[in-house]
C-alpha cells in the first residue's frame, strides 16, 4: 500500500475543506489515516477461499450455523464505515466442513476493502460453495451504514439486511425458515 500517496491525498482533502493541515491536531493525521487504511483495507490482497481449508469431519450432513460474526467494512460509495453481523449457514456434503473460526476470517477478508454489503454477502456464499461444495449455503448480513445514519436521511440505528442463498436453500423454504429462526433465537 502506498502510504505516501494516502498522506498526500489526506492533506489535500484537509486543505480542500478549508482546514489548516499544519495545525497541531492535524499534523499527524495524514500518517494516522494511512496506517488505519492499511489495516481496514488489508482484505484487498486476500482471497476469502484461502480461509476455507477443508477439514474432513464427521459425516454430519445437517445444518451448521455460525451467527453474529461481527465485521467492519468501508462503503465504496462514500468511504465511510458500515458494520454489523454476518450469519453463515451451510449443510456439508461428503464430510467436507471447515473450521468455525475460518468462517470469521473469511468474513474479515471480504469486508476489509472498499465494499458493498450485497457483494460481501454473495462473495462469502459463493466462496463457501466453491470451496466445500456443500448441499447449500445461506448468508445473512445485517449492517448499519454510516453514510445513511450520519448524513442524508439520518436514520440512526436503521439496518440493512441482505441475504445470499445457494444450493438446496434456494428451493427449500422450510430449511430457510429453520435458519432464520435459529438466527433470531
Ligand atoms: Zn455509502
Could you read off the pLDDT of 2-29 as tens digits, one per residue? 999 999 999 999 999 999 999 999 999 9
Domain map (residue ranges) of the chain: 3-40, 53-184
Task: State yes or no: is 145 an active-site residue.
Answer: yes
**Residue 85, helix vs strand vs coil:** strand
60 is catalytic: no
pLDDT attached to residue 45: 87
Predicted local confidence at residue 57, as pLDDT: 72
The neighbouring-strand residues paired with 4 are none
Active site residue 147: yes
**Could you say which of 1.10.1060.10, 3.40.50.300, 1.10.286.10, 3.90.1150.10 is the CATH number of the domain covering 3-40?**
1.10.286.10
DSSP element (H, E) containing 111: helix 100-111
What's the whole-model pTM score? 0.91
Residue 154's pLDDT is 67
Active site residue 117: yes
Which CATH architecture group holds 53-184? 2-Layer Sandwich (3.30)
Spacing, Cα 100 to ligand 1 middle (Å)? 30
Compute, in angstroms, the gap from residue 81 CA to the centroid of ligand 1: 8
Among 50, 61, 77, 118, the one annotated catalytic: 77
- Low-confidence stretches of the chain (pLDDT beneath 50): none
Return the H-helix or E-strand segment holding 161. Answer: strand 160-167
Tell me the CA–centroid distance for residue 140 and ligand 1, in Å.
19
Report the C-alpha gap between 1 and 113 in whole angstroms.
Answer: 12
Q: Name which of 41, 33, 26 is nearest 7 in CA terms.
A: 33
Amino acid at each position: 500500500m502506498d502510504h505516501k500517496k494516502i498522506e498526500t491525498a489526506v492533506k489535500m482533502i484537509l486543505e480542500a475543506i478549508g482546514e489548516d493541515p499544519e495545525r497541531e491536531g492535524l499534523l499527524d493525521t495524514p500518517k494516522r489515516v494511512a496506517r488505519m487504511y492499511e489495516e481496514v483495507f488489508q482484505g484487498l490482497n486476500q482471497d476469502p477461499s484461502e480461509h476455507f481449508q477443508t477439514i474432513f469431519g464427521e459425516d454430519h450432513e445437517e445444518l451448521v450455523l455460525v451467527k453474529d460474526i461481527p465485521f467492519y467494512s468501508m462503503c465504496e460509495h462514500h468511504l465511510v464505515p458500515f458494520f454489523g453481523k454476518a450469519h453463515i449457514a451451510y449443510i456439508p456434503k461428503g464430510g467436507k466442513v471447515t473450521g468455525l473460526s475460518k468462517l470469521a476470517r473469511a468474513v474479515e477478508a471480504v469486508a476489509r476493502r472498499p465494499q458493498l454489503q450485497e457483494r460481501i454477502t454473495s462473495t462469502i456464499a459463493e466462496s463457501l460453495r466453491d470451496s466445500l461444495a456443500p448441499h447449500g449455503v445461506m448468508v445473512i448480513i445485517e449492517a448499519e451504514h454510516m453514510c445513511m445514519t450520519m448524513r442524508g436521511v439520518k436514520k440512526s440505528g436503521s439496518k440493512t439486511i441482505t441475504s445470499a442463498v445457494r444450493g438446496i436453500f434456494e428451493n427449500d423454504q422450510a430449511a430457510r425458515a429453520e435458519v432464520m429462526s435459529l438466527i433470531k433465537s
